[in-house]
Amino acid sequence: MERNKNKTTLTTIGIDHSTNRQIDKLCKRYSLKKGEAVKLAFEYMDKASINPSEPPESVKSELAKINKRQDDLIRFVRHFEEAQLNPMVKATHAISVRFDTIVQNLESKIDSEMESSHENIQNILRKMDEVFGEQKAVTQDITKRINLVYNFQKINMNKLFQLIAVYAELAACGITDGKKKERLKEDIDNLINPKS
């Protein structure tokens, strides 16, 4: 039963010899069997809505149709260009020119502002340099004086400590240490009144 369902029933058609030669030529050119060629030809005519009983139109009339369609398309493109594209191009060009002008104005304004800002910064830096230069000189002078005072105090403090140590040693001497007392008195005198 299943074999009968898959089988297709084949029929035959009668054609003249010239048509048979045409079919043979097409089958050979496209590597088809006669049945396949006939089937495909009918499918093509059905999809393209071609009536085989009507004679095909001449090449001239087909070219005229193509030319007319081309002319219609060109007219449509030109109309679209005039109605839509040209105004858009003009508007875009106007916007572009305006934008360029604004950018140039902004550029010159920014350049002048930058130049002015640069000059102001240079003036501020010069002023700061002057002020800090004066302060630096004053600070250096004060630092020198502080160092001198510090060194003077340090020397005097060392002398004072030495003096205290010598006085302590002198106070610790007994009555019998006369030579030591004389030497300590001499050291004290040298500390209070240095010779050099």
* Digit-coded pLDDT (tens) for 138-192: 777 888 888 888 888 888 787 777 777 777 776 666 656 677 777 777 777 777 7
- Give whichever of 1-10, 41-50, 127-136 has the largest mean pLDDT: 41-50
Output the pTM of the full model: 0.31
Q: How far apart are CA 134 and CA 140, in angstroms?
A: 10
Q: How far apart are CA 93 and CA 168, in angstroms?
A: 105
Please name the residue that has the structure tokens 């060009």. Answer: 93
Q: Kindly state the tokens that stand for 104.
A: 């140039």
Q: How far apart are CA 127 and CA 6, in angstroms?
A: 107
State whether residue 52 is helix, strand or coil.
Answer: coil
Q: Is the pLDDT confidence value at 4 over 70?
A: no
Q: What percent of the chain has pLDDT over 70?
A: 90
Q: How far apart are CA 3 and CA 84, in angstroms?
A: 66
What's the pLDDT at 32? 92
Q: How many CB atoms lie within 10 A of CB 184?
A: 19
Of the candidates 39, 61, 42, the one whose C-alpha atom is nearest the C-alpha of residue 50 is 42
- pLDDT bin (cut points 50, 70, 90) of residue 1 is very low
Please name the residue that has the structure tokens 């059905």. Answer: 46
